[in-house]
Chain A
C-alpha cells in the first residue's frame, strides 16, 4: 500500500540518490553525512499545494547529497490524521532508520512518533509543534522561528513608518500558533504608535484566497487608513489586493512571505500604486533541509548542524533592495518560491508546470 503512496518526487529522488551517490561520492560529502548506511523517509501530513511540493522536492534534494542514504521514501497523509498516523506506523514497521515528519495534525501524531522512537527509529518532527520532549518522544524537533519573522516585519515597518500608523495583520485559521508567534514578534519591536486595526490577534483568512478577498474588502471599506498590511502567506493576497482599486486607493505597503506570483504582481502594479512597498521573508521551504540534515546526521553518525531552529532569512525589500530587490520571473510558474534554495526550474518541475 505504501508503494502507492510513493510519489514521483520520491522515485526521482531515489534515482537521484543512486546517480549522485555514484558521481559525487568522491567529490564532497557534507559533514552531517556520516559513514553508516541508512534509509530515510519523509512523511508529510498534507502534500497537496505548491508550497508542499517544493518542500518535498527540497527534502529529497537534500537527502540525495548524502551517499550513505541508500533508500528514500515519501508518504503523503493527504490531510487525514488517521492516514498520517498509519504512514508513521508502517514506515517504522518496515524498518526505516530515520524519518522526518511534518506533523500537521500536531500532538495527535505524537503517540505514533513515540512508538517509532522507542522502536529505535530516528524521528525528527519539524515546523509544526507536536508536543512531547526531545529524547523521550522523538530524537529532535526542528522548529521554525515565526517569532523571528514577526521581528523582521516589525523592524521594516519601523523603517518605512517611523511615526507609527495603522497595521492590518492577516493570518490563517483561527488561533493558529504561527500567527500568534508572528504577532508576538512584531509586538516585541513595535510600540503603541502602531495600531493593529484587525480583530485580536489577527484577521482569520484560513490562507484561502477567496476568503482573504472577502476579509480584505471588508477591512478596506471599514478603515480609511491602512498603512501596512502584514500577511504570513503573501501569494494568497494577489487576488485580493486589486480590491483597493475599487475604493480608488493605492495598495499600501505589504510585509509578508515571498512567492513568484506576488513579486510579479508587485512589478505590474507598482506604477499605479505609489504606496505599494513590498518586504518579504523567505517562505521557509528550506526548513525541511535542516530537518533532513539532522535526521541523516543522527542516523549515519555524521556531525549534526549547529542550528536547531530554522530562521527564515529576509528575502526581498523593494525600498532598499537589500538583501534582494523584488524579483519577478514571468517565465516561471507563479506558484514557485524564489527564496527556496532549490533551483527555479527544478521547482517548476516539482509543481508540475
Chain B
C-alpha cells in the first residue's frame, strides 16, 4: 500500500487521489494561476505590477461574479445564455433610469433587481417546472431582455452617476471595491452551498435529481431557484460595470457569456451538474483575466492573444479529462493488484 502511494505521488505530484479528490479543481486552478503569475513575472512583469492589477482586477471581479451565477445553473445541469441580456439590462437601467443623478441611483438599482428576479423566475419556470431545454429557454429570455435593453436605452450609452462610480470604481485600503464585492459574494455563496441545509440539498439535487426526488426533495423548486439567483448575480455584475466603466455601452454583457462558462468549467464544476466550487470559480476568473492581461502585456498581435486564451482553455479542460481517465485506470489497476495480492 505504501509502495502504491509513492507511485501515485510520482505520477501526479501532490495529488493523493483519496485525500485530495474533493479539491481537484481547486488544486488545478491554483497551480495554473501560480504558474501564470511566475510566467508573468518573468516575461511580462508589468502585468502583475500594482498599477496593472489595479486596472485589471475590477474586470476579473466582474467575470467572477457572473461566473458564480452561471455556476449555480450549471450545478443543476443547465446553461444560462440569458446572462448577456441580464447584465446589459442592469447596466442600462442603472445608467439611464438614474440619468446621472445620485438621488435616483438607489431607485434604479432596486428596479434592476426587480427585473432580474422577474427574468429569473420566468427562466426557472420554463426550465425547472415546464422542463424546457435550458439552452432554448434562456436564448429566448436573452432576446426578451435585449428587447428591454433597447426599450430602456434605445441602444445609446449614458454616463454613470458619480456616486455609482465611487461605489463600484473606488478603493478601500488600496483594494478596488468591485473586488471586495466579488469576494463577499463568493463567501456568501460558498457558505450557503456548503454549510446550510438548503445548499446541501441544492448540490444533492444537482448531482442526482432522480435520487433527490425519491428522497422527497423539491427538485423543481431548487432547479428554478438556480436561475433566479443566477440573474441576481448578473444584475450585481451589471450594476458594478456601470460604475467601473464611465460610459458603458448597452451591450456590455455580450463579452461575458463565454468567460462565465469557461471559469465554471476551469474550476471543475461538471457540466452535467452536481457539486459547485465557488472559490475555485473566483480563482479561475482571476486566472482567465490575468491571461488576457499577460497577452496584452507581452504585446503579441491580437490574433495571437485570442489563440493564447483559447489554448489555455483547451489545456485547462484537457487536464481535467486526462486526469479523470488516468485516475480511473489507476483505480481499476489498483483494485486488480489488491485482488491479486490478497489471492
What is the interface of chain A, defined by CB distance below 8 A to chain B?
A: 47-50, 53, 174, 198-200, 204, 208-211, 213-222, 235-236, 238-239, 242-243, 246-247, 261, 333-335, 351-353
CB distance from A201 to the nearest CB of B (A): 9
Q: Is the CB of B292 within 8 A of A335?
A: no
What mask results when residues 239 to 252 of chain B are scored 1 for a CB within 8 Å of chain A, else 0? Answer: 00100111111101
CB distance from A244 to the nearest CB of B (A): 9
Q: A48-B250, A239-B246, A239-B247 are in contact. Are A218 and B297 (CB under 8 A)?
A: yes
Nearest 5 pairs of A and B residues by beta carbon? A217-B55, A48-B155, A221-B52, A239-B246, A218-B296
**CB-CB < 8 A to A214: which residues of B?**
55-56, 59, 292-293, 296
Q: A208-B249, A217-B51 are in contact. Are A47 and B296 (CB under 8 A)?
A: no
Q: Bound complex: CA of A49 vs CA of B154, how far in Å?
A: 8
Q: Is the CB of B245 within 8 A of A213?
A: yes
B4 contacts A by Cβ under 8 Å: no
Q: Bound complex: CA of A343 vs CA of B296, how far in Å?
A: 41
Q: Is the CB of A218 within 8 A of B293?
A: yes
Q: A48-B156, A335-B159 are in contact. List 7 more A-B contacts (CB 8 A).
A: A211-B255, A218-B56, A218-B296, A219-B296, A222-B44, A246-B54, A335-B156
Q: Which residue of B has the minimal Cβ distance to A224?
A: B46
CB distance from A340 to the nearest CB of B (A): 15
Stretch at the interface among B103-111, B207-215, B299-307: B299-307
Q: Is the CB of A47 within 8 A of B155?
A: yes
B275 contacts A by Cβ under 8 Å: no
Interface-centre pick from A48, A49, A215, A218 (highest chain B CB count, 10 A): A218
6 CB contacts below 8 A, A to B, read A211-B255, A213-B59, A218-B52, A238-B246, A335-B159, A335-B247
Q: Which of B221-265 contact A (CB under 8 A)?
A: 241, 244-250, 252, 255
Q: Is the CB of B154 within 8 A of A53?
A: yes
B177 contacts A by Cβ under 8 Å: no
**CB-CB < 8 A to A243: which residues of B?**
51, 54-55
Q: Is the CB of B154 within 8 A of A199?
A: no
Q: Is the CB of A174 within 8 A of B156?
A: no
Q: Which of B281-302 contact A (CB under 8 A)?
A: 292-293, 296-297, 299-302
What mask results when residues 150 to 167 of chain B are scored 1 for a CB within 8 Å of chain A, else 0? Answer: 100011111100000000
Q: Is the CB of A199 within 8 A of B157?
A: no
B196 contacts A by Cβ under 8 Å: no
Q: Is the CB of A246 within 8 A of B157?
A: no
Q: Is the CB of A246 within 8 A of B55?
A: yes
**CB-CB < 8 A to B303: which residues of A?**
174
Q: Bound complex: CA of A48 vs CA of B88, how far in Å?
A: 14
**CB-CB < 8 A to A199: which residues of B?**
299-302
CB distance from A243 to the nearest CB of B (A): 5
**CB-CB < 8 A to B59: which residues of A?**
210, 213-214
**CB-CB < 8 A to A333: which residues of B?**
158
B49 contacts A by Cβ under 8 Å: yes
CB distance from B99 to the nearest CB of A (A): 8
B47 contacts A by Cβ under 8 Å: yes
Q: Is the CB of A49 within 8 A of B156?
A: yes
Q: Is the CB of A209 within 8 A of B249?
A: yes
Q: Bound complex: CA of A219 vs CA of B297, how far in Å?
A: 7
**CB-CB < 8 A to B159: which residues of A?**
261, 334-335
CB distance from A229 to the nearest CB of B (A): 15
Q: Is the CB of B47 within 8 A of A49?
A: no
Q: A222-B46, A247-B51 are in contact. Are A210 and B156 (CB under 8 A)?
A: no
**CB-CB < 8 A to B44: which residues of A?**
222
CB distance from A337 to the nearest CB of B (A): 13
Q: Which residue of A has the minimal Cβ distance to B304?
A: A199
